[in-house]
Chains A and B, each alone.
Chain A
Amino acid sequence: DADVTQTPRNRITKTGKRIMLECSQTKGHDRMYWYRQDPGLGLRLIYYSFDVKDINKGEISDGYSVSRQAQAKFSLSLESAIPNQTALYFCATSETGGSETQYFGPGTRLLVL
């Protein structure tokens, strides 16, 4: 089945460490997104990419960076993790010219100590 996968699924790290969250998809979609979700704050967009050469900041990009290595791969990096980056992180994909429906990966639960 065409799918969106995220690795790792859970991660505990310490303040100041650099970490990378990875997203891969087999849906053939060109658009990819990174969100974080915190209780009571909903889904907040960190970065999005509409094709391999296109990277855009979302509403909360500070402290994060991304890399679109291929159409199917979109990675999120926390350069120097801090405790308030503790959250549930989701990758999503969608297709240009389609309904703009976004399909989500299973999420990565990140704890920064």
Chain B
Amino acid sequence: QKEVEQNSGPLSVPEGAIASLNCTYSDRGSQSFFWYRQYSGKSPELIMFIYSNGDKEDGRFTAQLNKASQYVSLLIRDSQPSDSATYLCALLPYAGNNRKLIWGLGTSLAVNP
């Protein structure tokens, strides 16, 4: 099992809808979880990170973390065509001094006008 799993998509939603992106992980001790957005040919940009169970909201974005079920989600409200991109999930493992982010392969989102 991969450490971080994401559905590759593409996920297609109409403009104005809620887009729901999911990420599951295998290491129960994982500490922090990150969502990045990456436009084609561009570098990943941080949307938000979360480390406590529950919801964290930032504008139109909400991250949801459920450590018991080992998943983290990103909800995008009022989706816009400009949200069309690949969304990368990453996590920070718990153990060790040389901890570094573990990345999922990303989910492609298409928002249709």
A: which residues have CB within 8 A of B? 33, 40-43, 45, 48, 50, 56, 88, 90, 99-107, 109
Contacts and interface: CB of A to CB of B under 8 A. Distances in A.
Interface residues of B, number: 20
Contacts of A90: 43-44
B41 A88 contact: yes
B105 interface: yes
Nearest to A33: B100
Contacts of A48: 100
Contacts, number: 42
Nearest 8 A/B pairs, CB to CB:
A104-B43, A42-B105, A43-B103, A100-B92, A107-B43, A104-B44, A106-B43, A101-B46
Contacts of A33: 100
Nearest to B8: A40
Interface in B74-111: 88, 90, 92, 98-101, 103-106
A50 B45 contact: no
Nearest to A109: B41
A48 B101 CA distance: 11
Contact of B46 (A41, A50, A103, A105): A103
B32 A105 contact: no
Interface in B19-66: 32, 34, 41-46, 49
Contacts of A43: 44, 88, 103
A104 B41 CA distance: 13
A58 B84 CA distance: 30
A42 B100 contact: no
B43 A102 contact: no
A109 B45 CA distance: 18
B45 A42 contact: no
Nearest to A42: B105
Given A56-B98, A99-B32, A42 B41 contact: no
A42 B101 contact: no
A105 B88 CA distance: 16
